[in-house]
Amino acid sequence: MSSRDRSENERFHGFADRSTRPLTRLAYLLCGDQHLANDLVQNCLIRLYQAWPKVADKDTADAYARKVLLRCWLNERRRPWRRAEARDGEVPDRPAPETDIARGVHLKEVFRDALAQLPPRQRAAVVLRYWAQHSVTETAAILRCSEGNVKSQSARGLAALRTALSTMNALEELRS
C-alpha cells in the first residue's frame, strides 16, 4: 500500500470516528429505530469509503455523508419487505411522571413517536431543516427537489407534527 493510500485511509478512518455519532443521531431521527439507524450508518460509511478517493473537497465530507445517509434511508424505505413489517408493539412500561429526568425521556419518546408518523419526505425535510439546520437551498440539493417543494414539505411536516403531538397530548391527559 502506497503512502498516499495509507494517508487517505487514515483520513477516512479519522472522519468515520468523528462523524459516526452525529450520523447515528440523524439516522435515528429519520427512522426511529436504533438498530436500523446503526445499519444505515454502516451502509453510509461503506458507500462513503468506496467514493472517498473521489471526494474532492474533504471539508464538505460531512454534508456529503449526510446526503449519502439520507439516500440509504430512502432506499431502505423503498424495500418491499420493510413495508410488510408491522411495528405496532406496545411498550409495557412508561416513565414515572414525577421526576424531571423521566419527564424529559417521556417527551423525547412522544416526539419520536410523532416524528415517526410523518411520511418519509416530510420527515426528511423537517429533520434536515430544523434538526440539522440546513438552509432551504441545501435541503433541496440533498433531497434532489425544488426549493418550493422543500418549503411545502416542511410546512406540511410541521403541521402534521403539531397535530400528532396535540393528539398524543390529549391521549395522555385522558390516561391521567
DSSP 84-99: H----PPPS----TTS
pLDDT by residue for the chain (176 residues), tens only, comes to 667 677 888 888 989 999 999 999 999 988 888 999 999 999 999 999 988 888 767 678 888 899 999 999 888 888 766 555 555 556 555 555 555 555 555 677 777 888 888 898 999 999 999 888 889 999 999 889 999 999 999 999 999 888 887 876 676 666 66
Domain membership of residue 91 (yes or no) is no
How many separate domains does the chain show? 2
Range of the domain at 104: 96-176
pTM of the shown model = 0.59
Specify whether the CB–CB gap between 54 and 60 falls below 8 A.
no
Question: Do residues 79 and 20 share a domain?
Answer: yes
CATH number for 12: 1.10.1740
Residue with cell 436504533: 34
H or E segment and range at residue 133: none
